Amino acid sequence: MIESKTWSTDEILATVRRYWGFSELRPLQEQAIRAGLERRDSLVVMPTGGGKSLCYQVPAELEQRTDIVVSPLIALMKDQVDGLRECGYPAGALYSGMPLHAVRTTEEGIAAGRYRLVFVAPERLLTPWFLQLIERLPAPAFAIDEAHCISHWGHDFRPEYRQLAELKTRFPQASMHAYTATATERVRADIVQQLGLKDPAVLIGTFDRPNLVYRVVPRVDAHAQVLQVLQRHPGDASIVYCLSRKDTEGMAEALKENGMRAAFYHAGMEAGDRRRTQDAFAAEEIDVVAATVAFGMGIDRSDVRSVIHAAMPKSIEHYQQETGRAGRDGLEAECVLLYSAADVIRWESLIEKSAAEAGAAPAVMTASRQLLEHVRRFCTGLHCRHRRLSEYFGQAFSKSNCEACDVCLNEVENLADATVTAQKILSCVARTGERFGAEHVVDVLVGANTERMRRWGHDQLSTYGLMKGTERKGLTNMLYQLLDEGLLDRTADDRPVFRLNDESWAVLRGQRQVKLVQPKAKVRKTRFAEESWEGVDRGLFDGLRTLRREVADERAVPAYVVFSDATLRDMARARPGSATALLNVRGVGERKVSDLGPRFLECIAEYSRANGLELDMSAGSRPKRQRSSRKNDAKAAAFQMFAKGAAIEKVTAATGKAPSTVWGYLALFIEAHPSQRLDPWVSQETHQAVAGAVQDLGVAYLKPIFDRLEARVPYEQIRLVIASLKNSA
């Protein structure tokens, strides 16, 4: 065993604060970090977004050693390294396709012990060249990210991970730390066994993600419904999972036609096209990706605000994994699953087909069917979704109302007259001789005027046109709801038809009541979402996002690497006025304050001045209503005085507000009163000078104007002139 120092919690926190700007650790992070520090093997299972990376980043830094992180995807590795470097944390990576000079630099860095972490793909790790490199390191620890890839019981088995079993033999001194978000017992046991972990600390986090709101909605019109969800998140990142490649293309097309910045992604595309879509998503050039399950692990955008399943996934594990990509920054995000019983049928035939092609054992098919059945029950049952998911993964859920799913938010509506509707549908199935599928049954009910109808004489039936005026898609959905409830059967052959069963007859005889559901038109806002926006100035948040985009473009890194959305919201809430105050914002470490502080502080100060907002709201404070009404009183008083041309000092004295605030009020006043002359506050000469500079330099940035005027005109006056120019324009 290698002796190591015992680190105090304060020492751990000091490092976390310095690099990442977090002032506390999340559940299990400290235990996982300690396992790393003590070099005890560990298996850490945390949901996506739980904060696994910190667990291997901190020990290497505290102990000043070079640890190795095995990661499956190059894109992920690059982003992680970029993100760490932005925090001032020394990290490197080695992967195929890297330019030779970069490989050399990394090699030298490793030899000189310059890095705390080196990221490497599993197939590289065991090459003689790399082994030689790391054999020279004093005593590395290995962190295996996405460790479930080693298990073929997991949903993402990668054969190259199997080689990692050799690590323990080659480096008996080194400790191994496996990280995954996959929860099943079998996969966990497999990881421990395959990696040969010795007496590992097994740390299993809570699987519930309280920031996610889950909704399961009957699918009536996928394109329209997806669009509706996306419209709740304008300009935000979203993923739409579709069942087939063709579906992704159709979905992306439909979204684009409706003005969304969307693209599709599936495994049938050229590698180059796939990468371009992925890069465009990371670079915020597109907001929405319509994808098959192939889109996933390479995405590290933490600000995905909605994950929509346009069709049912094939297992709860998949659902958890895919919805896990929403809200990794801990902010609110929405997961909507559009469900139709038709999906079950489609999946069944896909499973059968692929099993037949692969010559799979019947047991494999039975297992797939069971997984499917779990999702079907999840979709059709009206039970708290958070509870169901937690319980599925073997964890108790203590809340009686999660306040974050369609069921607990009471968004599902029972259809009035459901029993009568069911009777109409079932009797139509009976009258047409139990020989037809959904399309024809619906045709008869709505009274379609088709050749087939006349050929069969179904236009003469008493059920013909019985539900005229009902929307076809809605009606089809009800038919499938009856199937789901076991009130109707469907044959399993190539041309499935509906058949009545005993339950159907019970309904027809009026011996059984039926419940049919339809989504309410409006969804409710969750308390979580409301609270996470409390006190945040939306305009400032948007301004900070734009600035973040600029910085990310300049540095060719994804935006979330600069600051997360959560950090920007905290900034737009606390409105720090100094570097010290900025350091108090969650997610801002020392390097970022020195590196990016001036630009972000300027953006905040400028916006706050222009909008009459105070700076330095105490960290985490939520402005009280009272405060804002007092502010409005002050603003109204100031406006009255401005109308009479009062000087800034007078308004400051009368309102008790800081001069910066009063200047901000004045800019607002000028914008609101286009005919107001600036003379009382800006001399004619200055006005002209600023206007001339604006003509040359534009108004995007004030600094160049300030410099052009040789710092003679204060920013406040420049801002006023711009406000009045905007008015006259």
* Site string (349-368) toward ligand ADP, x via CB under 6 A: --------------------
Q: Which is nearer to ligand ADP, 7 or 436 (CB)?
A: 7
Q: Which of 34, 52, 387, 548: binder of ligand ADP (CB under 6 A)?
A: 52
50 touches ligand ADP by CB under 6 A? yes
208 touches ligand ADP by CB under 6 A? no
48 touches ligand ADP by CB under 6 A? yes
Tokens read off for 619: 């960290």
Q: How far is CA 396 from CA 199, 324, 371, 386, 401, in A?
A: 26, 19, 20, 10, 14
* Residue 54: CB minimum distance to ligand ADP, A: 5
Dihedral of CA atoms 283, 287, 290, 295 in degrees, nearest 10, equals 30
Q: Which is nearer to ligand ADP, 34 or 52 (CB)?
A: 52
> What is the spatial distance between Cα 385 and Cα 381, in angstroms, rounded to a whole number?
9
Q: Which is nearer to ligand ADP, 51 or 535 (CB)?
A: 51
* Residue 692: CB minimum distance to ligand ADP, A: 45
Q: Which is nearer to ligand ADP, 52 or 687 (CB)?
A: 52
Residue facing ligand ADP at closest CB distance: 51
* The one segment of 323-331, 340-348, 402-410, 597-605 that binds ligand ADP by CB under 6 A: 323-331
* Residue 566: CB minimum distance to ligand ADP, A: 7
Q: Which is nearer to ligand ADP, 24 or 373 (CB)?
A: 24
Residue whose entry in the numeric block shows the structure tokens 């465009």 = 280
49 touches ligand ADP by CB under 6 A? yes
In the range 8-47, which residues lie near ligand ADP by CB under 6 A?
22, 24-26, 29, 46
Quickly count helices (H) and strands (E) in the chain. Answer: 33, 17
> What is the spatial distance between Cα 658 and Cα 649, in angstroms, rounded to a whole number?
10
Q: Which is nearer to ligand ADP, 28 or 721 (CB)?
A: 28
Q: Which is nearer to ligand ADP, 175 or 182 (CB)?
A: 182
* Residue 52: CB minimum distance to ligand ADP, A: 3
206 touches ligand ADP by CB under 6 A? no
In the range 292-311, which residues lie near ligand ADP by CB under 6 A?
302
Q: Which is nearer to ligand ADP, 26 or 276 (CB)?
A: 26
* Residue 50: CB minimum distance to ligand ADP, A: 4
What is the side-by-side strand order in the sheet with 237-241? 212-218, 333-339, 304-309, 237-241, 288-291, 262-265
Q: Which of 31, 53, 244, 395: binder of ligand ADP (CB under 6 A)?
A: 53
Q: Which of 427, 564, 584, 686: binder of ligand ADP (CB under 6 A)?
A: 564
> What is the spatial distance between Cα 238 and Cα 265, in angstroms, rounded to a whole number?
13
Q: Which is nearer to ligand ADP, 46 or 475 (CB)?
A: 46
> What is the spatial distance between Cα 683 and Cα 689, in angstroms, rounded to a whole number?
10
Taking Cα atoms as reference points, which of 123, 81, 125, 121 lies closest to residue 105?
Answer: 81
329 touches ligand ADP by CB under 6 A? yes
Q: Which is nearer to ligand ADP, 16 or 255 (CB)?
A: 16
DSSP assignment of 110-132: HHTT--SEEEE-HHHHTSHHHHH
Q: Which of 36, 51, 92, 313: binder of ligand ADP (CB under 6 A)?
A: 51
Q: Which is nearer to ligand ADP, 523 or 562 (CB)?
A: 562
How many CA within 13 A on the CB side of residue 400?
Answer: 0
HEC assignment per residue over 325-347:
CCCCCCCCEEEEEEECHHHHHHH
Reading phi first (left if > 0) and then psi (alpha if -120 to 50, else beta), residue 238 is in beta
* Residue 181: CB minimum distance to ligand ADP, A: 6
Contact predicate 110/135, CB 8 Å: no
Q: Which is nearer to ligand ADP, 140 or 330 (CB)?
A: 330
> What is the spatial distance between Cα 385 and Cα 397, in angstroms, rounded to a whole number?
11
* Site string (54-73) toward ligand ADP, x via CB under 6 A: x-------------------
Three-class secondary structure of residue 285 per DSSP: coil
558 touches ligand ADP by CB under 6 A? no
Contacts of 342 (CB under 8 A, 6+ apart): 438, 480
Q: If residue 29 lies in a helix (H) or strand (E), which one and from where to where?
A: helix 29-38
* The one segment of 324-332, 359-367, 410-418, 607-615 that binds ligand ADP by CB under 6 A: 324-332
Question: Which own/partner contact pairs does 408-412 have at CB distance under 8 Å and 24+ positions apart?
Answer: 408/384, 409/213, 409/523, 409/524, 409/526, 410/524, 411/215, 411/519, 411/520, 411/522, 411/523, 411/524, 412/382, 412/517, 412/518, 412/519, 412/520
* Residue 122: CB minimum distance to ligand ADP, A: 18
* Residue 231: CB minimum distance to ligand ADP, A: 26
Three-class secondary structure of residue 624 per DSSP: coil
Question: What is the total count of residues that contact ligand ADP (CB under 6 A)?
Answer: 18
> What is the spatial distance between Cα 220 and Cα 242, in angstroms, rounded to a whole number?
15
Tokens read off for 583: 């350091």
* Residue 532: CB minimum distance to ligand ADP, A: 13
Q: Which of 39, 155, 318, 328: binder of ligand ADP (CB under 6 A)?
A: 328
> What is the spatial distance between Cα 267 and Cα 271, in angstroms, rounded to a whole number?
8
631 touches ligand ADP by CB under 6 A? no
Q: Which is nearer to ligand ADP, 54 or 288 (CB)?
A: 54
* Residue 53: CB minimum distance to ligand ADP, A: 3
Q: Which is nearer to ligand ADP, 229 or 561 (CB)?
A: 561
What are the backbone angles phi and psi of residue 189, rounded to the nearest 5°?
-60, -40
* Residue 718: CB minimum distance to ligand ADP, A: 37
Taking Cα atoms as reference points, which of 604, 612, 610 lies closest to residue 632?
Answer: 612
Tokens read off for 211: 């920031």
Contact predicate 571/585, CB 8 Å: yes
Chain residues that interact with ligand ADP, rule: CB under 6 A: 22, 24-26, 29, 46, 48-54, 302, 328-330, 564
